[in-house]
Amino acid sequence: MTAFGYVVAAGTALLMLPVATESGESSDFVTALFTATTSVCVTGLVVTDTAGHWSTFGELVILALVQIGGLGIMTLASLLGLLITRRIGLRMRLTAQAESKALGTGDMRRVLTGVALVSLTFETVTATVLTIRFATGYGYDIDSAAYHGVFHAITAFNNAGLALYPDSLTRFATDPWICVTVCLAVLAGGLGFPVWIELWRHSRGMLHRWSLHAKITLSTTALLLVLGTVAITTLEWNNPDTLGRFGVGGRLLTGFFHAVMPRSAGYNVLDVGEFRPGTLLVNDILMFIGGGSASTAGGIKVTTFALLAFVILTEIRGEPTVHVMGRKVPATAQRQALAVALLSVGTVMVATLFLLTTTPFGLDVVLFEVISAFGTVGLSTGITPHLSGPATVVLTLLMFLGRIGPITLASALALREHTRRYELPEERPIVG
């Protein structure tokens, strides 16, 4: 957490330099702080037009902060997961070594190398496709095409959602080369490093050898993607301000795109402010859940959500223990998931109440903005640039807590586990 704070501070100082803006004038502290935080926490919310306000130097600073934030978060989360695995004995494959080995320099080196390799591979492929498309389909010269391709590849894989256009990616709404490529990069970054290790090690289809974490992450991600696509496309199908202005193919493409983005990316090809209330609520749910653990995505994570769903299903069935895909889930993991979810709900509710009392905006857009910040998503109904100074600071804190909080909290809960020396008399309260 301290390291991320230092990076945010350094980024704020650089963005306050006159050379960082197009006008040559220094940005105010709140704008620089907000932009540095949204970049390091790979959120994507902005209070200024990225391309219009920041100079090339400023954009490169933002890009560096995004890369450091995304790569650092994946590394931090993976190392903490590796540490917890050795500490409490959870069988999650994070490296190619045997489960019984102790955490040592070799493990850390493999994790760091693996995270960097996964990141750079996906970013390079994405940048190549986007560069070719910008050059051949939109008449960009090779330098501009490469710059735009690399910028959006890095922000896409790291789920940052920052774009070099004032309307995000709206101008490419019906271009499958841009939309699908960005979506695939976002999904790749949102799965998490441990899952990619599983897929690499068992690339020959040995599904039974995948860890429970990989199975839950992949299956829940696929389910949420399908349900999100169906819900958003259905709710907005006849909305003339969103999907209604496209043909069938365009509606399906943009519906899929906007089902991917709430997972923590934050790009948009539609005006989010024109979404119907039901669509905003669907986005709220998807943003709060987020992506995979030890990934560039935010939210409470799909494994936390899935685990709580299995706990509820087990209780409904009246079974004494939680079994998932042929494995028994320990009670400690269940309690950690519950703690992360409830504390996250509490944080969102407190921030929402604060913004409701200090801004003139309604509940639906305020809640959307708060969850977008806490889930490090970056989608906005358009109210972020119009928030007061205190409200902007609250969103800044939410982005930082949302990115660092769930990882730190889950790890702290796991590492502080200890055995109770005695038990008190049991008494059952009334529930429900």
pLDDT at 107 exceeding the cut of 60: no
Provide the total of helices (H) and of strands (E) in the chain, helices listed first: 15, 2
d(CA 96, CA 289): 29
Q: Which pLDDT score is estimated for 103?
A: 40
Percent of the chain with pLDDT over 90: 47
Mean pLDDT of 181-185: 95
| Residue that wins the pLDDT comparison between 40 and 282 | 282
Q: Which pLDDT score is estimated for 252?
A: 95
Q: What is the number of domains present in the chain?
A: 1
Type of residue at 416: R
Pairs from 199-206 (Cβ < 8 Å, separation ≥ 24): 201/93, 201/96
d(CA 75, CA 402): 17
Q: Which pLDDT score is estimated for 428?
A: 73
| Residue that wins the pLDDT comparison between 426 and 383 | 383
d(CA 193, CA 176): 27
Beta bridge partners of 328: 323
Q: Which pLDDT score is estimated for 4?
A: 74
Mean pLDDT of 107-123: 76
Please name the helix (run of DSSP H) or strand (run of DSSP E) that holds residue 255, with its range, or none: helix 248-260
Q: Which pLDDT score is estimated for 108?
A: 59
262, two tokens: 């709430």
Percent of the chain with pLDDT over 70: 84
Ranking 54-63, 84-93, 133-142, 309-318 by mean pLDDT, the lowest is 84-93
List pLDDT tens digits, range 258-287.
999 998 888 999 999 999 999 999 999 999
Q: Which pLDDT score is estimated for 98?
A: 32
268 occurs within a structural domain: yes
253 occurs within a structural domain: yes
Angstrom distances, CA of residue 288 to CA of 269, 340, 353: 21, 12, 17
Q: Which of 265, 292, 275 is closest to 211 using CA atoms?
A: 292
Q: Beta-strand (E) ranges in 190-300? A: none
Local confidence band at 213 (pLDDT 50, 70, 90 cut-offs): confident
Local confidence band at 298 (pLDDT 50, 70, 90 cut-offs): confident
Give me the domain span that covers residue 124. 2-415
List pLDDT tens digits, range 97-106.
332 233 444 5
Beta bridge partners of 54: 21
pLDDT at 91 exceeding the cut of 50: no
Task: Please give the distance of CA 139 from its chain centroid, rounded to a whole number.
Answer: 32
Q: Which pLDDT score is estimated for 96?
A: 32
Residue in the block written with tokens 């990934």: 295
Q: Which of 46, 186, 43 is closest to 123 using CA atoms?
A: 186
Q: Which pLDDT score is estimated for 12?
A: 93
Q: What is the mean pLDDT of the chain?
A: 84
Ranking 108-117, 149-158, 252-261, 389-398 by mean pLDDT, the lowest is 108-117
Provide the whole-model pTM. 0.84
Local confidence band at 78 (pLDDT 50, 70, 90 cut-offs): low
List pLDDT tens digits, range 338-358.
888 998 999 999 999 999 999
pLDDT at 83 exceeding the cut of 60: no
Residue 102 sits at φ, ψ, to 5 deg, of -80, 160
425 occurs within a structural domain: no
Q: Which pLDDT score is estimated for 426?
A: 76
pLDDT at 219 exceeding the cut of 70: yes
List pLDDT tens digits, range 10-38.
999 999 999 999 989 999 998 999 999 88
d(CA 395, CA 372): 9
420 occurs within a structural domain: no
Cβ(25)–Cβ(18) below 8 Å: yes
Local confidence band at 195 (pLDDT 50, 70, 90 cut-offs): confident
Local confidence band at 256 (pLDDT 50, 70, 90 cut-offs): very high
Report the range out of 11-20, 113-122, 189-198 with the highest average pLDDT: 11-20
CA atoms within 13 A on the CB side of 84: 26
Q: Which pLDDT score is estimated for 152?
A: 94
Cβ(403)–Cβ(42) below 8 Å: yes
Q: Which pLDDT score is estimated for 411?
A: 61
Q: Which pLDDT score is estimated for 399?
A: 87
